[in-house]
Structure 1
Amino acid sequence: MKFNELGLKDNILSAISEMGYEAPTPIQQKAIPYLLENDSDLIGLASTGTGKTAAFGLPLINKIDSSSKNTQGLIICPTRELCIQIARDLDAYSSKLRDVKVTAVYGGTDISKQIRQIERGTQIIVATPGRLVDLINRKKVKLWEVETVVLDEADEMLNMGFKEDIDSILQQTPDHKNVWLFSATMSKEVARIAKNYMTEPFEITVGGKNETNKNIEHHYYVVNERDRYTALKGIIDFSPNIYGLIFCRTRRDTAAVADKLMANGYNAEPLHGDLSQAQRDRVMDKFRSKTLQILVATDVAARGIDVDDITHVIHYQLPEDVENYTHRSGRTARAGKKGTSIALINTRESRKIKSIERIINSDFQLKKVPSPDEICMIQLQNTVASITDTEIDTTRIEKYMPAILEQFEDVSKEDVLKKFLSVEFNKFLSYYENVKDVNAKSSKGGREEGFKSRRGGKSDSRDDENRQRFFVALGRKDGFNHGALLRLLLDNTGMNKGAIGKIDILEKFSFFDADKSETEKILSKMQTVDFEGQTMNIEKTKGGGDSDKGGRKTSSRRNSGGDRSSRDRGNSGNSGNRSRRRSYNN
């Protein structure tokens, strides 16, 4: 099938032809004709990187009445990077159409400039939830003529705690609008949005629900925690032509890993929320233009990365929620190409691999971190190949050759090669002479290693003497999740995300760790904060560095919750294991 068979306007076909679009992807083949021919709601489920932006963007552009300057289309997405990317794509799709304006509105930049653009008239607004709510409250965005609302990456927006904002925005739009919901996964929260705001939606699924892209190979390496960075270096060095994305859980880890890689001579930079918008734009421009080889990012910052030809996605740490694994790995194998997703895990995390396999319906291959000899051989062969493949520009170097040949007249061809490779690799070879085998023992099921923390071993951060454990009187039954807790903490306390440690979201209540130095700030700033009309009731617990490993709450309030948490969180650390298991099975 070709794009000219889908029913799009000739001007749009001309624009996408210049962009290099040839044949539509499966989600585009199914969604575009339906959306052009039907005035109805739609749910589109497909893996990240399968062309969802064009699947909703092309029919949306096709429907716009350019004679009216009122906002007719609204696209809501989770991050500013994705917002910018979608707006750029829509600008390109409509480049052959007159008077079609697309405006991106997102936080971290001058709101007055965005207001001026909206006031001049724009048919399509692409927005992040927080900035859009701000503009609505200022009465600068008028949505009464919106005919189509697109919720892109709906699962990720809900994971990030934007449920309340999305509810608020959708209530400002007309009842007769169409809602097009696109997502990589179909979680309970996404289903709730569909139930509350959509009328008999037509559902298109490409692949199984929550499945990852079939063109991705999934590998995992088991290493001891102390060897995680050494293993990362080995994997990168074994793939000298890598054009990759490394994911870390926190801004602090992202910055630390990027700093180490740059100090070790790798062409790498970080992307996280502590960077200014100008810094983030600079990094992304370098990555898109391939002048940057390795990007180290947090989940949130990387949501807008729509870059072709990424060869590897490396999970330096597994995400808390399996949905994020799908989004992360979907950064590679885009546009029908193949890619590799690599997970680095410690000996206690093998069970998570099994859980992810069940949910994404794809198998992982257990791999060994290559030996120093294997890595050195790959690097040497790659260098030799790059030399032999280099075209000789005789006209430019000919005048220098007599002097150079004179210097080498007493040196054999073999010695020249040895000297050249020594110049290139002496430091590299010296490093790998001292690297030991970093592979740890683990079964794929992870039963023996996975239960270590339940038998009394220390958990990741709970026993850190510099951490404090906190109790929150909200759980999954309240619609509470990791993203909501992080957002409320960061917005109301001004803390750095790196100060927040392990989070356990249980059915009726939750726990989180934070640096002890932030304790008073958390207790004072969070007293008046609520979540969707419900008081959070954050309290300090014992444990998390205190001598009482039973983890009893300092307050007797909500005694049943406190007693249960004490039993679950005793010396064995059962709560942490159960909550982590749940987060990968939901």
Structure 2
Amino acid sequence: MQAFQELGLHESWAAALAAASITEPTAIQVQAIPVLLQQNSDFIGLAQTGTGKTIAYGLPILQHCNTAEPTTQFLVVAPTRELAVQIGEELKRFGKQQRGLRLLTVYGGAPIAGQLRSLRANAPHILVATPGRLLDLIRRKEVSLDTVNAVVLDEADEMLNMGFKEDVHEILKHTGDHPIWMFSATMPPAIRTITETFMTDPVVVSIDSTQRTNVNIEHRYAIVTRKNRNEALKRFLDHIPDVYGIVFCRTRVDTQEVADDLNRSGYRVEALHGDLSQVQRERVMNQFRKRALKMIVATDVAARGLDINDLTHVFHLGMAQDHESFAHRSGRTARAGKSGMSVLLLNPREESSMRRLEKTLKISVQPIEIPTLQQVQRGQLDLWVDNLKKTKPAKGQMVESAMEQLMELSKEELIGKLLAQQLGGAPRGADDDLNARSERSSFRERGERSDRREGRKGRESWQDRERKSEGKRERTERADHDRKSDRKGEKKDRPERKARSKKNDDGTRYFINAGFADGLDPKTLVDFVAEQAGISRKQIERVSIKDRFAFFDVQGQEGKNIGRHFDGLEVNGRKLRVNRDDE
């Protein structure tokens, strides 16, 4: 592993990094720092969040800064207030040794008057800003970018996802021909537009371009009904010692409801969403950074740009809006080479969506059991006993007084009372096992239960049925071919008719009132129908699955009336219905 000095940095920066317990550069730092120290070309750095990008561009900025010049020399643009503040704090931390360095962070949601006073008093050497507030200051002619040596766009893909495309374009128009250093986790078309419009032959560095999520993240999932979802989350929080992380929800309403429920149950958490004022957001984030809060509950938008070190867990209450959002959510943990866990709490209908996510992001999401009440209590007991053993005993008169007052209690009574006081009374929650069955397994289990009800133990094997079906289909096809040959002359002068959409020759089109939302995908549907109806999988064709329903064809005479095989079955609490599409 290269040392920081070998990358071209001054020894003083390496010493500052060592003081912060940073001794080895990350991959993006190794490849970016030597290029940015040259300061004469555009640059694109593609790397996931948490890989040390701030240091990758921050140290070259600090090394290039000439504090004798009273001008703004570097501009850093970040998508959110939180990220802008964190970048500013990081640069200040390492820039302490640089005498006379002036740095200013400006962002929306805070009074502009104080920021204007700071700008007018002394031009900052480094300006860190969010797009909206920066444009406001440019239009007021309070900020000039004419003297800027380079512009950094941090988390550029997030900036564009949040609707700042036009703002970014206008900002770059004000920077002239100065180098642009762009850092992004992905390279969507909007980013390519920026590179083609504003950049010239950029140096491109891509870290783990085939790996779209951090390899240090352990991905797990549990299937749980929506009714039990919050209780399952509490079980994990109770069971994991020193948990420190983020709970993600899709909407502001869900975020606040989950935070309120956790607080009512005695957990110290806060919600982070768009309805909070800037003062409220900063209060929550300060508490979280100091670990006065072990968890925050956030929406995707509110958590964008958060850069909190040492998060152990990310919990997803349901699937994210899209795969990129999931990658950004999970990327809040396992930062700077550390490990972390991402836990999906899904309802049974979401498992198929998770499988598609696995394929897209090339990750493996393994099941995890929701802890039982007994496991939670045992873990809490072991932790309490361990801490008790490590506690230095008190001495003196207070101990003697306590012994006199507790003399009448037996050893067992004393321990029992201490446990009741420390761990609480009756365990919370009526159901011990909160793990729900996945829809995939439940479809198979329904078929097995129906087999047992109808006494099909003596049913012939799959191979025998498939051989018979193939033979019957071949005989049917030969007969059809002979009939068509006999009528060939008659049809020669007839106009061709359009193929019917509901039936394919001897196939029958069927409707089923279950779809993607119920955990069905083409393979699951074919397996389920074939097993339940006692037909070959090869007879099932033209599968079309929608969110709440699906269509499929069944070839052969056996497929003329298979609906009766599904009588009495249910899916997600409603009666399963399979009938011919022409009924």
Aligned to 1:138: 140
Partner SS for 2:221: strand
Equivalent residue in structure 2 for 1:153, among 132, 142, 155 = 155
Aligned to 2:480: none
C-alpha separation between the residues in 2 aligned to 1:112 and 1:242? 40
C-alpha separation between the residues in 2 aligned to 1:101 and 1:79? 22
Aligned to 1:402: 400
C-alpha separation between the residues in 2 aligned to 1:48 and 1:426? 40
State the Cα distance separating 1:55 from its structure 2 match.
0.7
Change (3 A) 1:5 1:431: same
RMSD (Å) for aligned C-alpha atoms: 2.7
Change (3 A) 1:444 1:191: farther
1:304-355 deviation per Cα after TM superposition (whole angstroms, max 9, x unaligned): 4222221111112332122222221111112222111111111221122223
State the Cα distance separating 1:438 from its structure 2 match.
2.3
Q: Give the TM-score of the pair, scaled to structure 1.
A: 0.73
8 A contact 1:210–1:326 mirrored in 2: no
C-alpha separation between the residues in 2 aligned to 1:354 and 1:459? 12
C-alpha separation between the residues in 2 aligned to 1:183 and 1:269? 29
8 A contact 1:212–1:326 mirrored in 2: yes
Change (3 A) 1:271 1:455: farther
Aligned to 1:491: none
State the Cα distance separating 1:88 from its structure 2 match.
0.9
Partner SS for 1:218: strand
In the TM superposition, 1:228-239 aligns within 5 A as: 228-239=229-240
Equivalent residue in structure 1 for 2:437, among 427, 438, 441 = 441
Aligned to 2:566: none
Aligned to 1:422: 420
C-alpha separation between the residues in 2 aligned to 1:444 and 1:459? 11
Change (3 A) 1:71 1:264: same
Higher alpha-carbon Rg: 2
Does residue 66 of structure 1 match 2:67? Answer: yes
C-alpha separation between the residues in 2 aligned to 1:20 and 1:444? 48
8 A contact 1:108–1:277 mirrored in 2: yes
Partner SS for 1:314: strand
| One-letter amino acid of the counterpart of residue 140, structure 1 | E
| One-letter amino acid of the counterpart of residue 433, structure 2 | D
1:432-482 deviation per Cα after TM superposition (whole angstroms, max 9, x unaligned): 4x2243222226899999xxxx9556999xxxxxxxxxxxxxxxxxxxxxx
Aligned to 1:96: 97
Aligned to 2:13: 12
* Identical-pair percentage: 43
Partner SS for 2:153: strand
Aligned to 1:525: none
Aligned to 1:561: none
C-alpha separation between the residues in 2 aligned to 1:191 and 1:63? 28
State the Cα distance separating 1:570 from its structure 2 match.
9.8
C-alpha separation between the residues in 2 aligned to 1:207 and 1:448? 39
8 A contact 2:351–2:438 mirrored in 1: yes
8 A contact 2:516–2:545 mirrored in 1: no
C-alpha separation between the residues in 2 aligned to 1:219 and 1:319? 15
Aligned to 1:330: 331
| One-letter amino acid of the counterpart of residue 371, structure 2 | P
Does residue 3 of structure 1 match 2:4? Answer: yes
Q: Aligned pairs, how many?
A: 458
Instruction: Structure 2: state its 5+ residue gaps.
Output: 446-510, 518-543, 552-583
C-alpha separation between the residues in 1 aligned to 2:148 and 2:353? 43
1:366-422 deviation per Cα after TM superposition (whole angstroms, max 9, x unaligned): 122122222221122122222122233x4xx42111122223334333332222112
Does residue 321 of structure 1 match 2:322? Answer: yes
8 A contact 2:318–2:347 mirrored in 1: no
Aligned to 2:309: 308
C-alpha separation between the residues in 2 aligned to 1:425 and 1:229? 20
8 A contact 1:210–1:323 mirrored in 2: no
C-alpha separation between the residues in 2 aligned to 1:103 and 1:448? 61
Instruction: Structure 1: state its 5+ residue gaps.
Output: 461-566, 575-586
| One-letter amino acid of the counterpart of residue 166, structure 1 | V
Aligned to 1:193: 194
Q: Give the TM-score of the pair, scaled to structure 2.
A: 0.73
C-alpha separation between the residues in 2 aligned to 1:163 and 1:239? 41
8 A contact 1:254–1:296 mirrored in 2: yes
Aligned to 2:34: 33
8 A contact 1:77–1:151 mirrored in 2: yes
In the TM superposition, 1:125-524 aligns within 5 A as: 125-175=127-177, 177-209=178-210, 211-392=212-393, 394=394, 397-427=395-425, 429-432=426-429, 434-442=430-438, 456=513
Aligned to 2:578: none
8 A contact 2:516–2:547 mirrored in 1: no
Change (3 A) 1:402 1:351: same
C-alpha separation between the residues in 2 aligned to 1:159 and 1:188? 11
8 A contact 1:69–1:121 mirrored in 2: yes
C-alpha separation between the residues in 1 aligned to 2:89 and 2:58? 11
| One-letter amino acid of the counterpart of residue 195, structure 1 | E
| One-letter amino acid of the counterpart of residue 78, structure 1 | P
C-alpha separation between the residues in 2 aligned to 1:105 and 1:253? 31
Change (3 A) 1:570 1:227: closer
State the Cα distance separating 1:254 from its structure 2 match.
1.4
Change (3 A) 1:573 1:315: farther
C-alpha separation between the residues in 2 aligned to 1:129 and 1:266? 36
Aligned to 2:533: none
8 A contact 2:50–2:336 mirrored in 1: yes
8 A contact 1:16–1:92 mirrored in 2: no
| One-letter amino acid of the counterpart of residue 399, structure 2 | M
291-300 or 13-22, larger mean C-alpha shift = 13-22
| One-letter amino acid of the counterpart of residue 427, structure 2 | S
| One-letter amino acid of the counterpart of residue 428, structure 2 | Y
Partner SS for 1:211: coil
1:185-208 deviation per Cα after TM superposition (whole angstroms, max 9, x unaligned): 222322332232222222222223
C-alpha separation between the residues in 1 aligned to 2:91 and 2:359? 36
**Following TM superposition, where does structure 1 have runs of at least 4 consecutive aligned residues deviating by more than 4 angstroms?**
443-449, 454-460, 567-574
8 A contact 2:219–2:342 mirrored in 1: yes
State the Cα distance separating 1:572 from its structure 2 match.
4.8
